[in-house]
Amino acid sequence: MALDADWAERWVRRTANAIADAKGELTELDRQIGDGDHGENLDRGFKAVVARLDDVAAEPVPADERTVGDVLKLVATTLMSTVGGASGPLYGTAYLRAAKVSGRPQIDPPAVVAVLEAALEGVASRGKATVGEKTMVDAWHAAVEAGEAAAGDGGSEVDVLRAAAEAADTAATGTIPLIATKGRASYLGERSAGHEDPGARSTALVLGAALAAALSGPTPADPRGAA
């Protein structure tokens, strides 16, 4: 099955739930090496996204007229407007660039990889960060590489997302020994080692939600449910 706008919406709603569940953990990670607002900020942002999706759902659009990019664009502008910290424009740019390459009702495995690549490119260019600097770029980069490999092997959309989500999770854990050289944590220098980067962890949650949304399938009975 190709991934459509309903999948994108389920992805976003699941992300909101995952972020809400992990809010305390993310905030604690950020308190150790940042300013302690990552969980709160993202939770506020994704709750606002869900509220806007609910508004949109009140005036349904025919499925073939809504693109994956429409959903991602809504996420982008809402996160930019509501998050407040650096993760707002960073995630916002990721979703914005992803929206630009997904303006279609359905996306196939290569297009899923393109979405991941666009998101990585957005985060890296906005944050002026590269791999190995203990940032969310580490998780996005690993996801793109794994997703590309899965698509190259002829994998399905689910295979691509599974590979991406697992790689992002591993990469997030892999930020623990790193010394931060970008972002707020870089002010700590060597003391940033031994802590997981909260942005890499939230990226793993986002991509885990993308996989779960693809596995859960459509939920026509309650399109506005948390799925």
Partner 1 sequence: MTARVALVLVSHSVELARGVAELAEQMAPDVLIRGVGGGPDGGLGTSLDAVQKALAEVLTALADDTAGDDAGGGADGGGVVVLGDLGSSVLTVEAVLELDESLTERVVLARAPFVEGAVAAAVTAHGGADLGAVLESATASIRMFAASEATQPPEASGATSGGESESSRTVTVRNPLGLHARPAALVSRKVAELGATVTIDGVDASSVLQLMALGATQGRELRVEATGERAAEAVATVVEMIDGGFGEV
For binding to partner 1 (CB under 8 A), which residues are involved? Answer: 37, 41, 44, 77, 80-86, 88-90, 92-93, 96, 126-127, 183-184
In the beta sheet, which residues pair with residue 106?
A: 4
Q: Which residues have a Cβ under 8 Å from the Cβ of 115 and sit 6 or more positions away?
A: 68, 72, 98, 101, 102, 107
CB-CB contact of 98 with 128 (8 Å): no
As to burial, measured by CB atoms within 10 angstroms (0-12 exposed, 13-18 middle, 19+ buried), residue 184 is middle
Q: Minimum distance between the CB of residue 119 and partner 1, rounded to whole angstroms?
A: 14
At closest approach, how far in Å is the CB of 32 from partner 1?
18
Of 141, 210, 147, the closest CA to residue 174 belongs to: 141
CB of 166 to partner 1, least distance (A): 29
Cβ closer to partner 1: 70 or 166?
A: 70
Instruction: Please report how close the Cβ of residue 56 comes to partner 1 at its closest, in angstroms.
Output: 19
Rg (CA), the chain: 16
Q: CA torsion angle for 106, 100, 48, 167 (degrees, to 10)?
A: 70
Indicate the residue among 14 and 38 with the shorter CB distance to partner 1: 38
Least distance (Å) between residue 183 CB and partner 1 = 7
| Strand partners for 4 | 106
Considering beta carbons, is residue 90 or 113 the nearer one to partner 1? 90
CA distance 226 to 60: 17
List, in sequence order, every residue forming a beta bridge with 3; answer none if it has no partner: 107
146 close to 166: Cβ distance less than 8 angstroms? yes
CB of 86 to partner 1, least distance (A): 4
State which residue, 81 or 216, has the beta carbon closest to partner 1.
Answer: 81
Q: Could you tell me which residues come within 8 angstroms of residue 20 by beta carbon, excluding any fewer than 6 positions away? A: 43, 46, 47
In terms of CB distance, is 13 or 97 closer to partner 1? 97
Q: How far is the CB of 84 from partner 1 (least distance, A)?
A: 3
- Among residues 129 and 178, whose Cβ is nearest to partner 1? 129
- Residue number with CB closer to partner 1 (128 or 190): 128
Strand partners, 107: 3
